[in-house]
């Protein structure tokens, strides 16, 4: 089966562009399942029930999150109630809304989805994502398993790919908003890409107006982030997964403009 993993969708502009491009791409590429990182889908970052529903009604089957998961308090009940949206599993489970992994029944097969967040250069007090992955895999019963590793450091993402090689179907990185050119199948049959990029405005810095980020770097003073407007792109990766073995047979990145 063919699984499409979409990079961080940035704001209402990114959501609208995804709605324009996703249905046709799914049809052309014969995509069976779409997973999307939605932690920046609300204007001003974070995710709201409204932005999540926009993604679902645009053709997304499953939403993963990251370090902005809890920016908007109105989404807390939604995270507890909706089975197809998860936040990083290595947040403290006793005090954090939502779940960190889930299994989707596709009828002909089941798909497990795990969301993890890195520890390097990330401003959060998290459990070790490698140990948490081991714990989840002991409980998760699914032939096909996908992991969204929301992390800053390329080395940490690469390490997670090799750590889970042969134990999951695909590991795709999110968070940096920059599509990397290393989509591949690792030696033991796990699909991998360091980062699937973003869905948002091209002429921007990670979806934010350039002048705001430039002022922040040159003055070192706080700035309110305003999202850029203009022509957009949709970054993603597509993994071909064997239904019987759960192994990845091909990996390809795409940029839709």
The answer to whether 37 is a known ligand-binding residue is no
The answer to whether 39 is a known ligand-binding residue is yes
The secondary structure of 6-44 as a DSSP string is E-EE-HHHHHHHHHHHHHHHHHHHT-SEEEEE-TT-STT
The answer to whether 175 is a known ligand-binding residue is yes
Element (H, E) at 7: none
Pairing relationship of beta strands 232-241 and 2-6 according to DSSP bridges: antiparallel
DSSP 91: S
**CB neighbourhood size of 245 (10 A):** 12
The answer to whether 54 is a known ligand-binding residue is no
Q: Which of 54, 68, 82, 84 is catalytic?
A: 68
The answer to whether 8 is a known ligand-binding residue is yes
The answer to whether 84 is a known ligand-binding residue is no
Q: Which SS3 state, helix, strand or coil, does residue 77 take?
A: helix
Based on the residue annotation, tell me whether 68 is a catalytic residue of this protein. yes
Cα Rg of the chain, angstroms: 17
Alpha helices in 145-247 (DSSP H): 154-164, 210-219
Which residues belong to the active site? 68
Q: Summarize the annotated binding site as residue ranges.
A: 8, 39-40, 67, 150, 175, 177
Q: Summarize the annotated binding site for Fe cation as residue ranges.
A: 8, 39-40, 67, 150, 175, 177
């Amino acid at each position: 089966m063919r699984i499409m993993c979409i990079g961080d969708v940035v704001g209402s502009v990114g959501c609208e562009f995804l709605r324009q491009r996703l249905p046709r791409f799914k049809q052309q590429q014969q995509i069976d399942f779409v997973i999307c990182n939605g932690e920046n889908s609300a204007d001003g970052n974070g995710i709201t029930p409204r932005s999540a529903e926009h993604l679902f009604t645009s053709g997304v089957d499953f939403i993963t999150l990251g370090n902005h998961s809890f920016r908007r308090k109105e989404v807390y009940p939604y995270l507890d109630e909706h089975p197809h949206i998860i936040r990083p599993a290595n947040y403290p489970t006793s005090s954090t809304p939502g779940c960190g992994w889930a299994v989707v029944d596709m009828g002909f097969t089941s798909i497990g989805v795990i969301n993890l967040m890195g520890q390097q250069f990330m401003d959060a007090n998290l459990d070790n994502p490698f140990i948490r992955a081991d714990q989840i895999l002991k409980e998760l019963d699914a032939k096909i398993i996908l992991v969204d590793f929301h992390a800053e450091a390329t080395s940490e993402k690469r390490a997670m790919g090799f750590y889970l090689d042969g134990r999951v179907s695909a590991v795709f990185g999110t968070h940096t908003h920059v599509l990397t050119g290393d989509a591949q199948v690792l030696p033991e049959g796990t699909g991998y890409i360091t980062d699937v990029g973003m869905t948002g405005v091209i002429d921007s810095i990670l979806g934010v107006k350039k002048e705001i980020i430039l002022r922040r770097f040159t003055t070192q003073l706080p700035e309110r982030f305003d999202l850029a407007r203009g022509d957009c792109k949709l970054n993603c990766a597509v993994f071909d997964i064997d239904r019987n073995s759960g192994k990845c047979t091909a990996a390809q990145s795409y940029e839709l403009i």
